[in-house]
Structure 1
Amino acid sequence: MPLSVPDRLADLPYAHLLRTHTGPLRADERYDTVHFEGGEYLDQSAGGATFLECAFTGVSLSGVKLRRARFNEVWARAGRWVACELVESEWQDSALVGGVLAGVAAHGSALRRVVFRGCKLEAVNLRSAVLRDVVFEDCLLRDVDFGDAKLTDVSFPGSGLEEVRLRGAKHTRTDLRGAATLGLTDGPEGLRGALISSPQLLELAPQFAQALGITVQDR
């Protein structure tokens, strides 16, 4: 990348412009330099909304529909995104820090220059998504589906991958060497084109042998 990710709200270049949001989220609305702080949004529809230079701190979104929403220069910290619909959404120059994404549908989405730092992603559907210059740093990815996705310059430093699916994914400089664990549920075929380390290769050796129909048996 690199994309600079501030640790504090006050460090955002647009922090002095932020104004506090009140009321529900609305479809096709344009939110410019808005601060969503500590609120809870349940089963609301904000499809097609645009978020430009916005901040989310301690916000809980549950069942919120954000299909085709656009997030540009958005910073989110300590938030919860549960059972949200982010299908075909667009993310650029954004960061999610210390958050939780669970049961999120984000297939067909596009992420460019996005950082996930210290996040937990569980049951997240990123099938057919396009990820470019994306970093998952010190995250836990459990039951995350990258099937048929296009990954370019994506890395996973310090992250644990558990029950992750990569079947059909297309990799261009995908770097998995820094991943703490590399648990794949659909075999090693989805790693074609990705970069892994020698220890990871040894860890995955039984899966490679099974995929190739090799029986490994010591006398």
Structure 2
Amino acid sequence: MPLSVPDRLADLPYAALLRPHTGPLRSDERYDTVHFDGGDYRDQSAGGATFLECAFTGVSLSGMKLRQARFNEVWAQAGRWVACELSDSDWQDSAVTGGVLAGVAAHGSALRRVVFRGCKLEAVNLRAAVLRDVVFEDCLLRDVDFGDAKLTDVSFPGSTLEEVRLRGARMTRTDLRGAVRLGLTDGPEGLRGALISSLQLMELAPQFAHALGITVKDG
């Protein structure tokens, strides 16, 4: 897992090889060691495209269609991924830092060894996605849907979860202990297989009691 994520473009192992991108994005294109810097790729289609050892800095990808796109060793910083179509996309050995992902459809995607750091994820659909060795570090996850997803070795250090859905999720060695808040909309059933702290268990106790039909009353 790439726990050490570069803070600067210059620190990327392939930084010296990057060349600037010009023009629109295209479907099924292969982008190798390309730097996308500050561009506005609004409502373009690049479905099936492959991005290998690429960097995205300050880009806007509003309305982008990237279904079945592949992101391998990609570094994205301070970008806006708004209303993007990323379903069935494939991510590996990549990092997204300081970005905003809002209204993103990423159901059925596969993420392996991916880090999200300091990101805001809102209304992101990750239903039936497969996440392995994924870290959400110091992120805000609001209205994120992990329903029916498979999470293996996933962690959330310093992150806040609000209105997150986990129903039907299958979790293995998924560590929620570092999360600042666990706000779940569909009850605790989706936590099966997860690792939580004793304090989190106490905070979730009312939801567990409700799910089991238990009435808790003092006096």
Q: Which category of TM-score, normalised to the shorter sequence, fits these structures? A: over 0.9
> Where in structure 2 are the equivalents of 1:55-94 lying within 5 Å?
55-94=55-94
How far is the alpha carbon of 1:2 from its aligned partner? Answer: 4.6
Alignment-derived partner of residue 113 in structure 1: 113
Matched, 1:4 2:4: yes
| Kept in 1: contact 2:52–2:72 (CA 8 A) | yes
Q: Are the counterparts in 2 of residues 87 and 108 from structure 1 also a CA contact under 8 Å?
A: yes
Displacement of 1:4 after TM fit? 2.1
Q: Is the 8 A contact 1:47 1:66 kept in 2?
A: yes
Displacement of 1:3: 3.0
Identity among equivalent positions (%) equals 89
Counterpart check, 1:161 vs 2:199: no
> For residue 5 of structure 1, what is the amino acid of its counterpart?
V
Task: Encode CA deviations 1:54-108: one digit per residue, 9 max, x unaligned.
Answer: 0000000000000000000000000000000000000000000000000000000
TM-score by length of 1: 0.99
Q: Is the 8 A contact 1:91 1:111 kept in 2?
A: yes
CA contact (8 A) 2:2 2:93 kept: no
State how far apart, in whole Å, the 2-side matches of 1:104 and 1:5 are.
23
Q: Where does 1:123-134 land on structure 2 (aligned, <5 Å)?
A: 123-134=123-134
Contact 2:108 2:128 in 1 (8 A): yes
Code of the aligned partner of 2:26: R
- Give the secondary structure class of the aligned counterpart of 1:42: coil
State how far apart, in whole Å, the 2-side matches of 1:82 and 1:96 are. Answer: 14
Residue in structure 2 matched with residue 180 of structure 1 by the alignment: 180
Distance in 1, matches of 2:153 and 2:207, equals: 25
User: Within 2, Cα distance between the matches of 1:68 and 1:216?
Assistant: 48
| Structure 1 residue ranges without an equivalent (≥5) | none
**Following the alignment from structure 1 to structure 2, what is the Cα–Cα distance between the partners of residues 122 and 63?**
15
Distance 1:214 1:172 in 2: 28
Q: Which residue of 2 aligns with 1:13?
A: 13
Count of aligned residue pairs for this structure pair? 219
Q: Counterpart amino acid of 2:46?
A: A
SS of equivalent residue, structure 1 residue 105: coil
Output the aligned Cα RMSD: 0.5
What do the CA deviations read for 1:149-196 (whole angstroms, capped 9, x no partner)?
000000000000000000000000000000000000000000001000
After TM superposition, where is structure 1 displaced by more than 4 Å over at least 4 residues in a row?
none
Report the secondary structure of 1:163's partner residue.
strand
Match in the other structure for 2:209: 209
SS of residue in 1 equivalent to 2:213:
coil
Measured in 2, the distance between the counterparts of 1:184 and 1:159 equals 14
Q: Partners of 1:4 and 1:135 in 2: how far apart?
A: 11
Counterpart contact for 1:3–1:93, Cα < 8 Å: no
The AA in structure 2 aligned to 1:133 is D
Determine if contact 1:52/1:74 at 8 Å carries over to the other structure.
yes
Which runs of no fewer than 5 residues in structure 2 stay unpaired? Answer: none
- Normalization by structure 2: what TM-score? 0.99
Is the CA contact 1:44–1:64 (under 8 Å) kept in the aligned structure 2? Answer: yes
For the residues of structure 1 that align with 2:33 and 2:191, how far apart are their CA atoms? 39
CA distance in 2, matches of 1:120, 1:214: 36
